[in-house]
Structure 1
């Protein structure tokens, strides 16, 4: 499985960090073939503000060839093409601007193009997965309509809303309730994932 992670300018860089840590664990275990990362310029700025240690950790992983990072303005990357074989794109955190561009089919950056690829390449023979994790509240009617369009097109909207039935004791544990749900939807059945009353 090849997975790309798009990081936009919504608050919540911790979600991207925790997801990437888990995905690289899955890669080390041989369950994921490749992990790619794409930042918007605002996504990188927010990550630098909220989680500067995340960016240095990620740079080390890229330097070690554990992950690959693509520029958001580079359309000559594999995630921009359906023939390149990426199986999933997770946009986390996902700004409402990114949702609007994806819903409208406006592929003016690599994240929007990769999302477009996931939606257009869906077929009974090969299921491409697009997961958007919006981190916004409250939601306007425009936001809700754009999210509906994404769902109708076959995308999955998974708001970055932690669950509490597992009684998380730390911020990381609360964030991981969302991250583990993402991994479950990718079919990775992560260790430690518990559904309701499991």
Structure 2
């Protein structure tokens, strides 16, 4: 496994070593010791989640705040997505900046999203099965988020606006300006 740190400190693209032959392929999708060597600490994952979405679905931008904050290790097991992480750590020099990475069943890449980040993805294939590990359990009272189409963030979801499918919750989510004012 190879770790590539993005421009956002602590946020890593992980590329597995894939062994292929006429029978198919094999790769190690998770190895605690290798991940610890890349991150510099050992995350303790406590929950796995999986979702399936159709083309055009945009999920996010979500996070858990405070003591229920979550780091995530995300990957796609079927299809392809544009995965986005936005740094919202209060004193970070990259506060408000984002990274977008294509994750697919074909490239087998993963993204490690540290605590203190908004996270979301858009489905750019016919459908996608998205899988992620979390290092803290879900807590409804700790939910926070920003509208994924917020113009201040200017995220390229690689979809035409007419094709985007958002939940009512995400459509009505707060602006990044309102989110920032709560952090001040």
Give TM class, smaller chain: under 0.3
| More strand as a share of residues | 2
When normalised by structure 1's length, the TM-score is 0.25
When normalised by structure 2's length, the TM-score is 0.26
| More helix as a share of residues | 1
Which structure carries more relative contact order (alpha carbon 8 Å, separation 6+)? 2
